[in-house]
Homo-oligomer: A and B are copies of this chain.
Amino acid sequence: MDKKQAILKSVLKLVNREGFYHLNMKKIAAEAGVAAGTIYLYFNGKEDLINALYAMIVAEFNQVVLAGYGENSDVKDNFFNMMDRAIDFYLKEPDNFSFIEQYTYAPFLFKENQEENFLLLLPIYKMMRLGKEQNIIKDIPDTVLLSIIHGSMNTIIKLHLARKTDLRQKGAKQKFREAIWEAISRTG
């Protein structure tokens, strides 16, 4: 069994269950079924561990979401595909969402790394650029488009995880997707 992965998974589970505030090395070790010292064979310390996990999730996310991007598909299809994959990514593993949310504002990372936070937004940027070139997406500032797409997705997932809505219900994701598309596209 891969202990490095087991340790990372433990952090993910614990951060989601108890929050960053209650996270400690002994718990991580216990959850992963290893000794506390073992963690230091794979990571340089707590900070390094947290940062490694973040980097892993971001990489996975971008890989999954960009896989939905077809060079030959039109902008709307790409948008729908990417939204679907992004939502599914977090619904399948809510721990990922919870971790990213908490990490973003809990600077384990130093200032220099803060830029990495915006890596998560790359897929959206790519789609927007194309849509504007083809006059399909509204001519409003990129940051406004971004805030609508990314912000609304973020919030709907939060609402879902807080059981204020249920994205697994038939048609729920589609309704959301379409509402956002109508919000950002010229014709609707």
Contact = CB atoms under 8 A, between A and B. Distances in A.
A180 interface: yes
Contact of A143 (B19, B108, B118, B156): B156
B143 A152 contact: no
A159 B147 contact: yes
Given A147-B152, A147-B155, A180-B148, A19 B106 contact: yes
Contact of A106 (B102, B114, B180): B102
B140 A151 contact: no
Interface string A89-115: 000000000100110011110000010
Interface of A: 18-22, 98, 101-102, 105-108, 114, 117-118, 138, 140-141, 143-144, 146-148, 150-156, 159, 162, 164-165, 172, 175-176, 179-180, 182-184
Closest 8 CB pairs of A and B: A151-B155, A183-B183, A151-B151, A147-B155, A143-B165, A147-B156, A151-B152, A147-B152
